[in-house]
Amino acid sequence: MGTKYGRWAYENEEKKMIYLHNWEQKQGVKITEIIPKVVVNRISEKENGFKVNFTCSTEYRYVYEDRPKEVNAARIGTYHVSSLISKDDSFLINKEWYTDPFADSLNLEKLKVDDVKEFILAQERKDFSNLDERRKASVEYANKYCGAATEEEFGYKYNKEYRNFNPEGGDCANFASQILHEGGKFKVNSAWNYSKGEASASWVNADKFKNYWVHSGRASVIAYGTYDKVYKASYQLMPGDFVAYEKKGDIKHISTVTNADSRGYALVTCHNTDRNDVPWDLGWSDKNIKFWLVRVHY
């Protein structure tokens, strides 16, 4: 922490903890454990130190305050590059780069927290045992290929049969398209397609992905608006549906619904930043964000 970059990283983590505490209060939950698993991908020597590339898959366990024995788990994966310098027989973090999963939302102001909490705590667990087989297959695909957020058995990898578009602006729509095609068995067509590393705009661009699915008849809008306008409608979401996140008129992100927690709150899985069964608004519940809750017609 000996430089301004190290201090910035530390202060950003501290700010994140404040956000998580505020989210806990809104949700009526308590985060009981945060369990990081670090996987070192590469170490390269440099002048006076080392450069380390690593993946961090972090599990967040939480319980609803009135049901402390029902433990829920969400996983978020991040990719890091750290610069370590030698000083006084030890190493200091000189710089660190990573995509912050909470960068788009670190405040929860102007929400009627008590009203939201009361509604959430009145809900119950959902039964998905009779879920459509194509929806189930979509969930299985999402869980297997959500990168740094996967279970260890899947190797924290994306599906290598598909190009990773993160270096070109983001891979969220590409992954959502894969889920619907590979898992949900939706056929490609002239408007929505992928072949040999090349993809249509509606396959790989978040805004065009949402527009294609809503306007093609393959999906329809359940609700649209800020969090306080849509959180009640979010309980209509089913595994295999998706959520689009809008900021300043543009869709910035796409997540696929893959489960619901012990209170029926929808959980999502996505790429960049990699998430697996994470509450659908976590990291996005900001007054400047609007949500599209979308029912996919399997």
In the chain, domain spans: 4-107, 133-296
Residue 90: predicted pLDDT: 80
Q: Report the 10 Å Cβ neighbour count for 178.
A: 24
The overall pTM is greater than 0.85: yes
- DSSP state at residue 180: I
Q: Do 52 and 82 meet the contact criterion of CB atoms below 8 Å apart?
A: yes
Distance CA 53, CA 163 (A): 21
Closest CA to 278 of 100, 61, 38: 61
Distance CA 169, CA 135 (A): 28
pLDDT of the chain along its 298 residues, tens only?
556 666 766 777 777 777 888 899 999 999 999 999 998 988 888 877 888 888 999 999 999 999 999 999 999 999 888 888 877 778 777 777 777 777 655 555 556 788 999 999 999 999 999 999 999 999 999 999 999 999 999 999 999 999 999 999 899 999 999 999 999 999 999 999 999 999 999 999 999 999 999 999 999 999 999 999 999 999 999 999 999 999 999 999 999 999 999 999 999 999 988 999 999 999 887 778 999 999 999 9
